[in-house]
Amino acid sequence: MRVCALSKTSIKQEFLRTHSIDDNFKKNLEYLLSYGVSAGADLVEIFIENIDNMGFLVEQDTVTSVTPSLGKGIGIRVFLGSRDGFVSTNDLSKSGLIFALDQALGMLGLQNFSNSTNSFDGLKKLKDYSSEKNSYMTKCPSIQESTNKVLKATNLLHKHGSHISVRRGSYSKTLQEVIVASSDGTYAKDLRLYQSIGLNVLALDREYRSSIGRRIGSAGKPSTLIDWNPEDTAIEITESAKKMLYAKYVNAGQMPAVLANKFGGVIFHEACGHLLETTQIERGTTPFNHELGKQIANEAVTAVDEGHTEGAFGSINIDDEGMETQRTVLIEKGILKRFLSDRAGELRTGHKRTGSGRRQSYAFAAASRMRNTYIEKGPYSPNNLIESIDRGIYCKSMGGGSVGATGQFNFSVEEGYLIRNGKLTDPVKGATLIGEAVDIMPRISMCANDLDLAAGFCGSVSGNINVTVGQPHIKVDSITVGGR
């Protein structure tokens, strides 16, 4: 709580005081990299992180928790052939860093000798992507402004909702400074700002209940919370909760489905996107390992992963291995074109790096991970998709779910409606979409023209990271719908 009492200016000054990028700092990094290469490593990578995070939770009309935190540390990774050793530390003294590096080298059976020679040519000129971002902290709203905005939102949930038993709002703001230096000459710095706003309600009336939530997230946009209209979100959530409260339970069966845009893309992200990461090839868990250049989806499907979209939650200038981000076409008209790859993925699978090496913090080694991942828009209107179905289900918003190692999935439908004779009819609840990526991808036969994105969090081998999911409205010709 002491951190909360600091002024915005003092926090900014403390945060930006961390690493002065001068000749001495560069020489210290070069010493460590040379030390590792002299021991026989093929490549040494140093990831430096400073992080300033503030989050809070509002329940009903009370701020129930505030969680400020500051952190600093270094992750050191050493490669020898296709093997690697990784150690992280927050002991940033020279002796502490050499000790950590020796541990990483020791994992590979390597040891530094003072008379060893190496081919390390030094770091390249710093690529600084942070120079115009130092105003991030001062442009963000204060803690008082932030809590007032979210308190207003939970009050609006009460104003617009009926039978609302639980109202929750949350907000988090993270400022992350990263520096990456590698013995291949990579030397880059970036400053990242992430903000996330969440609203959730639970509506109750006797035996009837419904639970609805929405999340808004951004990267590099200090004005996100300021620009957000909480009344629009509150009206959207409470109207959905009201419709679902008395909805009947859906009957289970095999049927066509239309999945809405935005967070509907979570199914592609989870069921298929992860299978296109080289970490899955290394594990032997992707069914698409030998399908490059082959058709794995309906020709209506073109899927992309990129880090460029301005303000999107998964956008980055550089990945956590110092590589500039790029646009990667994963699937083009149903044909598998590319896998997402990091440095280790390239070494072990042969798939070229795609700027997809990401990690939660300095405590994790980077791995191939998604950024902004979505199915591209098609030529139809959303109504065209609904009108093409005699009997099926419309999934307006998705809830939680689970995914197996090879793409088996089940996802709950948070808000759903029956489709009869090409029209939306009764609201239904209790629906679960069940399937496997290899079966469902060929059944996505129509994509609408309303591509939109939604923020989310993704957990995998390198921790929890910010991502964006998305799609236009899509039609799945047949999917198993669990219900009653």
Domain ranges across the chain: 3-245, 248-482
Structure tokens that stand for 57 in this block? 């939770």
Query: Span 222-244, mean pLDDT?
Result: 96
Q: For 400-430, what is each residue's pLDDT tens digit?
A: 888 888 889 999 999 999 999 999 999 999 9
Structure tokens that stand for 322 in this block? 């110092």
What is the secondary structure of 363-401 as a DSSP string? Answer: TS--EE--SEEEEPP-SB-HHHHHHT-SEEEEEEEEEEE
Q: What pLDDT is recorded for position 86?
A: 98
User: Which pLDDT band, with edges at 50, 70 and 90, does 116 fall under?
Assistant: low
Q: What pLDDT is recorded for position 14?
A: 46
Q: What pLDDT is recorded for position 400?
A: 82
- In this structure, how many other beta carbons lie within 10 angstroms of the beta carbon of residue 247? 20
Average pLDDT of the residues of the chain: 93
User: Which pLDDT band, with edges at 50, 70 and 90, does 20 fall under?
Assistant: low
Query: Span 179-197, mean pLDDT?
Result: 97
More confident residue, 268 or 405: 268
Q: What pLDDT is recorded for position 9?
A: 46
Above pLDDT 90, what percent of the chain?
A: 88
Answer whether 0.95 is exceeded by the pTM: no
Note whether 194 and 173 are within 8 A (CB).
yes
Note whether 181 and 33 are within 8 A (CB).
yes
- In this structure, how many other beta carbons lie within 10 angstroms of the beta carbon of residue 291? 15
**What is the helix (H) or strand (E) element at residue 69, kind and residue range?**
strand 62-80
User: Which pLDDT band, with edges at 50, 70 and 90, does 3 fall under?
Assistant: very low
Q: What pLDDT is recorded for position 115?
A: 63
User: Which pLDDT band, with edges at 50, 70 and 90, does 118 fall under?
Assistant: confident
User: Which pLDDT band, with edges at 50, 70 and 90, does 165 fall under?
Assistant: very high
Q: What pLDDT is recorded for position 451?
A: 98
Residue type, 479: I
Q: For 426-448, what is each residue's pLDDT tens digit?
A: 999 999 999 999 999 999 999 99
* In the block, residue with structure tokens 């992707």: 286
User: Which pLDDT band, with edges at 50, 70 and 90, does 21 fall under?
Assistant: low
DSSP-assigned letter for residue 442: G
Residue 2 has pLDDT above 60, yes or no: no
Q: For 370-388, what is each residue's pLDDT tens digit?
A: 999 999 999 999 999 999 9
For residues 269 and 292, give the distance between their C-alpha atoms in angstroms, rounded to a whole number. Answer: 18
Residue 13 has pLDDT above 60, yes or no: no
For residues 282 and 108, give the distance between their C-alpha atoms in angstroms, rounded to a whole number. Answer: 19
Q: What pLDDT is recorded for position 484?
A: 78
CATH, range 3-245: 3.30.2290.10
Q: How far is CA 315 from CA 217, 267, 325, 429, 468, in A?
A: 11, 20, 8, 34, 8
Query: Span 22-39, mean pLDDT?
Result: 91
> Minimum mean pLDDT among 129-133, 179-183, 352-356, 450-454: which range?
129-133
